[in-house]
A and B are shown apart, each in its own frame.
Chain A
Amino acid sequence: AIQMTQSPSSLSASVGDRVTITCRASQGIRNDLGWYQQKPGKAPKLLIYAASSLQSGVPSRFSGSGSGTDFTLTISSLQPEDFATYYCLQDHDYPNTFGQGTKLEIK
């Protein structure tokens, strides 16, 4: 199975900060990667698909980049509602696999 290594596992930041979360695949996965946001007690929410395509309705401060094995989720200017846990998910091969998650906390 393809392993997704996500970093950091946790991150403290302030409103207005720019933050970056990375995912590395154990083998090439083309652009078959999505980013999901999860808030406590809620289902995951799709933010980015195909590594860099913004899901409809998601604020433009979220962006994704990367291809092959290295991927990045960037939030350009943190808003209070962005404090949550973020996961990458590779959809290139089965079984699909999630990264371990990054908990974004308020500094």
Chain B
Amino acid sequence: VQLVESGGGLVQPGGSVRLSCAASGFTFNIYTMIWVRQAPGKGLEWLSYISSSGSTIYYADSVKGRFTISRDNAKNSLYLQMDSLKDEDTALYYCARRLRALVSSQYFYKMDVWGQGTTVTVSS
């Protein structure tokens, strides 16, 4: 079971980049997925969620309208299209799997598998 992010790099302010997250070792198309980032020396920030089919999507206010999450279940891949990038988007970006768990007859979710992250640096 593995998630591997790629696509990070140096981008100019106002520019765009597309991150990918390749899944392996599990049935990707039944899992919901998320993106999380961590700015240098800072805490974790939840960014976005996508349902297993891709039909339901949520974003953090900080990236809404600029970032687009998507997935290709045929390719076992998750994506994050990042547009209109700002200096404050500089961070390590993680994808994570959301696993449903049954606890005391109720369903809960846990982020049980994480990638190693890919770094995006926004700078001129």
* Chain A residues proximal to chain B, CB less than 8 Å: 1, 31-32, 34, 36, 38, 43-46, 49-50, 53, 55, 85, 87, 89, 91, 94-101
Contact = CB atoms under 8 A, between A and B. Distances in A.
Contacts of B111: 34, 36, 44, 46, 89
Interface of B: 34, 36, 43-46, 49, 58-61, 94, 96, 101, 103, 106, 108-112, 114-117
12 contacts: A1-B60, A1-B61, A32-B108, A32-B109, A43-B114, A46-B112, A49-B109, A89-B111, A91-B109, A94-B49, A95-B46, A96-B49
Contacts of A85: 43
In order of increasing CB-CB distance, the 3 nearest A-B pairs are A49-B110, A94-B58, A50-B108
A88 to B, nearest CB: 10
B94 A31 contact: no
A100 B101 contact: no
B58 A95 contact: yes
B34 A31 contact: no
Contacts of B96: 44
